[in-house]
Chain A
Amino acid sequence: MQIEFRQVTVVFPQPKGGSFVAVDGFELQVEKGEFVTIVGPSGCGKSTMLLVADGLIRPTAGQVFFENKLVTAPGPDRALVFQEFALLPWRTVESNVMLGLELQKKRSPTEMRNVVNHYIQLVGLRGFEHHYPHQLSGGMRQRVGLARALAVNPAILLMDEPFAALDAQTREIMSEELLRIWEEDKKTVLFVTHGIEEAVYLADRIVVMSSQPGRVKEIIRVDLPRPRGLAIKDDPEFVRLRRHIWNLLMKEVRWQVDGRGKTP
């Protein structure tokens, strides 16, 4: 087992007093090399779980163990990919990808440049090394974000709705690309999304969450063959899984849409 969430609860104090239970008793074990997606309505605390796994947020109760060690702070074995890309606009593509390596100071400048170039090529950005983020499309920017995370060679990739800011077509292409890159060395991936189709397409297992407070509703194994192309979305099993998850989430979403939810 590579990463283990034990009864993780996160409570945020509210500015006007009181508190908000973001996640309540989250339990999950992820095996090495597994691709796990976490899907749920907005506000179910799925991104919070990712930040807890990275060590940026300390849980109010419960623990996260990574390779049997308690997670208390970010470490070189875990890398985050952000929804907002989080690229530094004054740095070129090359320099952005190098950020993690720079901070970890484990390699010589020549080595770093070689690693950076390898991953820039892997994500298909060769020729754009000296471009600035504002000169790139959204999809290309997230490729930079992915390369930056991969460059530190983490044991696990934590992806926080990485394609949510992209348009539908780019999003499909990016998820296909992600699987292609993942197939190369099968790192463990924890991937948070609110897209059901994306969740099924990518995952070995899907964690479906309910909101307010965020709880694990169901964990679903996906037995679709790999490597997967986009055509698999027409597979009857894919369609069945998608419908099943939609039914699980429908009640949650209805609450949110109608405003009849359990108010926090």
Chain B
Amino acid sequence: MKKQQRLWIGGLAIVIFLGLWEAAMPLGWVKVADISRPTLVVKAFVELTRTGDIFHHLFVSLKEFFLGFALSLVVGVPLGVLLGRYRTPFLFLDPLLMAIYTTPRVAMMPLLVVAFGVGFGATVAVVFLGAVFPILVNTAVGVREIDRVWIRAVESFGGTEWNIFTKVLLPGSVPPIVTGIRLGVGRGILGMVVGEMYAATEGIGQQIALYGNSFAVSELMALIVVVSLLGFVFVSLIRLVEDRLRYRRMETEV
């Protein structure tokens, strides 16, 4: 299917949804206090940007997000390579990591607040915990599935274990690492919002909780849209990188 056609059909659903939402309250389809309307949400958004308040909270949130995400890269990629390459560390750490992985991050929030403090510290920690696993797991799988013959080629030229890491394992697992990063972004943003909603004095998540508690639905929706746009932009950028990589390094089959 052509790309234009795809955009058009996909866009139609959004337009219909917005139309129904806009009409729902005035036409009395819903009997609840307030579900707001797209036009009101836009108005609320304009108001929020006019005071500049939203930018401060966005900045705080992004700072937490990027720090947590950077940490998850610094930890996730090397650890993933290690676990993908060597059996003993894998057997040693796998049960522990899986236990942490399957524990809902939200359930850890109280602990994280105690450990890292309200707001910044706890949010960075929960972003890290969300993003690090997809990155780690994808890296490990990527490294494990590296073609043995590439490693053998490096060995045959007298390459060291370090050479195997830098010349084969890392570049060879870039596509799955990027996929892990893409999945990690979603988890990281989730962590960012949840962390701030639970315990913070500033940030988008804290604002969402604030407006939610005071039933200011239009402002609440405006903030939610901001968060989802944020995720959409990040994921799209990474998709772009993924597609380019796929084109450049299509597997050579014999």
Contacts and interface: CB of A to CB of B under 8 A. Distances in A.
A152 B159 CA distance: 13
A54 interface: yes
A87 B152 contact: no
B163 A84 contact: no
B43 interface: no
Interface in A70-107: 73-76, 79-80, 82-90, 99-100, 102-104
Given A56-B152, A90-B171, A79 B157 contact: yes
A141 interface: yes
Interface-centre pick from B154, B158, B159, B249 (highest chain A CB count, 10 A)? B158
A86 B156 CA distance: 11
A74 B150 contact: no
B150 A88 contact: yes
Interface of B is mostly: helix
B158 to A, nearest CB: 5
Contacts, number: 72
B168 interface: yes
Contacts of B149: 82, 84, 86
Interface of A is mostly: loop
Contacts of B174: 90
Interface string A41-60: 00000000000001010000
A90 B248 contact: yes
Interface in B144-169: 147, 149-150, 152-159, 163, 167-168
Contacts of A86: 147, 149-150, 152-153
Interface residues of A, number: 29
Contacts of B33: none
A104 B158 contact: yes
Nearest to B153: A86
Interface string B229-254: 00000000000000000001111101
B121 interface: no
A81 B154 CA distance: 12
A76 B159 CA distance: 10
B172 interface: yes
Interface in B113-158: 147, 149-150, 152-158
A103 B249 contact: no
Contacts of B154: 99, 103
Nearest to A75: B158
Given A74-B155, A74-B156, A99-B153, A90 B252 contact: no
Contacts of A165: 254
A134 interface: yes
A54 B156 contact: yes
B158 A82 contact: no
Contacts of A104: 157-158
B254 A89 contact: no
A40 interface: no
Interface in B174-200: 174
16 contacts: A56-B152, A56-B155, A74-B156, A74-B157, A75-B158, A80-B156, A82-B152, A86-B153, A88-B167, A88-B172, A89-B250, A90-B171, A99-B154, A99-B157, A99-B167, A103-B157
Interface of B: 147, 149-150, 152-159, 163, 167-168, 171-172, 174, 248-252, 254
Given A88-B153, A90-B249, 6 more contacts: A74-B156, A79-B157, A86-B152, A89-B250, A90-B171, A90-B174
